[in-house]
Structure 1
Amino acid sequence: MSGTTPTNPGQAPMARPDTDPFTSLRRGMDRLFDQVLGGSSWGAPWGNLPAAFTATGVLSPKVDVAETPAGLEVTAELPGIEAKDVSIELHEGVLTLRAERSAERKEEDKDKRWHIVERQSGTYLRRFALPFDADPDKVEARFDKGVLHIVIPRPAEQKPQARRIEIKG
């Protein structure tokens, strides 16, 4: 069985990792960050910061991206965020998710000594290059209990019209 691409019964074959545009994009970004950060994995130079926290202070939400015959489905975890603090933009084939989370703790409280502070505040940001030209007016998004769901439909296929070609000579 070596050399075969695994499949799911009743479904189309899975994209090979070396041809999947999202896997390729992720690998490229990982290589870029490894070069910029001196060959270490994300987050490592800053000690015990969570892996989702980058050098720029931007949080990277966990996402799932699924390709279907109808288009793409993107699901992002944005815990502690309200819908009013989330923005989605589609521009020149790039989907941008952005959300703001504000700190809840008050530093001026003199009677509190913080021992552990793991809850983060800041900007969540993720960008994805889409594998097709999507119509921004047809993209749908909903937000439920800290989870953002985005559906990006494929554009309608333009069917080539048959045309009779005259033979000369």
Structure 2
Amino acid sequence: MTTLQRKDPRRQFAELFDWAEGLPSMFSWPAVMRDVRIEEFTEDNAYVVRAELAGLDPEKDIKVEVANGMLTIAATRQEEEHEGARSEFHYGSLIRRVLLPDGADEGAVEAKYTAGILEVRVPISTRTTEARTVKIEYTP
């Protein structure tokens, strides 16, 4: 028997932006949608998001928030001016939002920053909910 899994439309929309990033430069998304590159996976009963944020100070420049099933990584990179220089860096406000999986424990999120990579771990409950019959109250 084949089991079909439905993808959350919000996750599919985010994947569309990732796909479009590889298209020619004449077709580009707003900077806010492409500034923070991530990888996400599940490991040891936790949902893990790793974000490339090289050259930032995690105490001053990076903010991680979790609310209503969404993880938000926001950062600010200040532009440095150099005479006769060329830069491909993204400057200003950087943001990335990621939909958390079912069972995510928003109250136990941990984040660490090492060598330019921010790693956010969100514990996932392995508890499964069994179907049960609910009594219907009736007043004639």
TM-score (norm 2): 0.69
Counterpart amino acid of 1:141?
A
User: Residue 93 of structure 1 contacts residue 133 of structure 1 at CA under 8 Å; is this kept in 2?
Assistant: no
Task: Give the aligned partner of residue 64 of structure 1.
Answer: 39
Number of residue pairs matched by the alignment = 123
Matched to 2:65, the amino acid is E
Report whether the alignment pairs 1:44 with 2:26.
Answer: yes
Which residue in 2 is equivalent to 1:143?
113
How far did 1:137 drift? 2.4
Report the secondary structure of 1:45's partner residue.
Answer: coil
2:84 counterpart residue number: 113
Is it true that 1:125 corresponds to 2:92 in the alignment?
no
Q: Call closer, same or farther: CA 1:19–1:126 in 2, change over 3 Å.
A: farther
**CA gap 1:129/1:159 in 2 versus in 1, 3 angstroms:** closer
The structure whose residues are more often strand, as a share, is 2
Give CA deviations for 1:48-69 in whole Å, capped at 9, x if unaligned. Answer: xxxxxx42x3242121101235
Matched position secondary structure for 2:13: helix
Percent identity between the aligned chains?
24
Find the aligned partners of 2:25 and 2:6 in 1 and give their Cα distance: 26
Larger Rg: 1
Check conservation: 2:103, 2:126, Cα contact below 8 A: no
* 2:52 matches 1:77: yes
> More relative contact order in 1 or in 2 (CA 8 Å, sep 6+)?
2
